[in-house]
Amino acid sequence: MSTAVGDQRVFTELWISFVSLVRSYIAAHDLGRIEGRAFVDEGEDGRLTVREQNRILVVDFDVQTGKGEWAMYDDEPGPERRLSGGGFRIGADSLVTFSDRRSAVEMEIAAEAFTAKVFDQD
């Protein structure tokens, strides 16, 4: 097994774990709401989409490199509706580095950060 194949397997498993964390945090947030729910897809094919009222968070991840990009949109994805975005990297040690931060954070903290973006709590 080559290193690239091994890395891809690690990044695939890390992505699955990351998606699971985001989905869990979104569900926990929804439990405390009186009305309205966020909709989260399965995160398949390296893309996770979270839709909450008129905001959409799209997270793309490349299992080949461990790098990803995220974008927040107003109502529908599209360049003219993009509110914010950035890059990130999940390391083989499960630490996440965001393009706009100096230090890496634990995967759980990164999942919380994405959840906060959806609910405008960052």
Instruction: Give residue 5's pLDDT band: very low, low, confident or very high (50, 70, 90).
Output: low
- pLDDT digits over 32-49, tens only? 777 778 888 888 899 999
CA distance 108 to 80: 31
Residues 6+ apart with CB under 8 A from 47: 41, 58, 59, 60, 61
Instruction: Give residue 16's pLDDT band: very low, low, confident or very high (50, 70, 90).
Output: very high
pLDDT at residue 73, rounded to an integer: 92
What percent of the chain clears pLDDT 70, i.e. is strictly above it? Answer: 94
- pLDDT digits over 50-98, tens only? 998 888 999 999 999 999 999 999 887 777 889 999 999 999 999 999 9
What is the average pLDDT value for the chain, to the nearest integer?
Answer: 88
- pLDDT digits over 100-111, tens only? 888 999 999 999
Structure tokens at 116: 């906060």
pLDDT at residue 7, rounded to an integer: 86
pLDDT at 11 over 60: yes
